[in-house]
Amino acid sequence: MAKGKVVFDENQCKGCGLCVTACPFKLIEMDEKRINSKGYHPAHVTDLEKCTGCANCAIICPDVVITVYRIDK
């Protein structure tokens, strides 16, 4: 299976949580320990190893925070 990588432009995140609901592998959560420059808890990936690069999170993000890469094996 293709392996993916996601990069969050963290300070653009508004903490809406839609990417959390869209990830088929539940790899994203809101980082309750940190606050970004907008004052929100930003989204982050918990286990990048499991990311397939499906881009569902990026497609649903209303603020275009996420860039997705794929490493084809």
Partner 1 sequence: MNIVFEKTKGLTDKTFHYCPGCTHGIIHRITMEAIEELGLLGKAVGIAPVGCAVFAYEYFNCDSYEAAHGRAPAVATGIKRVHPDCLVFTYQGDGDLAAIGTGEIVQAAHRGEKITAIFVNNAIYGMTGGQMAPTTLIGQKATTAPYGRDENHAGKPIMMSEMIATIPGAAYIERVAVNTPANIRKAKKAIKKAFEIQREGKGFTMVEVLSTCPTNWGMTPEDALKWLEENMMPYYKLGIYKSSEGSVING
Which residues contact partner 1 (rule: CB under 8 A)?
4-5, 12, 14-18, 21-22, 40, 53, 55-56, 58-64, 66-72
Estimate to the nearest angstrom the gap between the alpha carbon of 16 and the chain centroid.
Answer: 12
In whole angstroms, the minimum distance from the beta carbon of 33 to partner 1 comes to: 19
Q: What are phi and psi of 45, to 5 degrees?
A: -95, 135
* DSSP H helix total and E strand total for the chain: 2, 4
The site for ligand SF4 (CB under 6 A) is made up of 4, 6, 8, 13-19, 22-23, 25, 27-28, 43, 45, 51-57, 61, 63, 65-66, 68
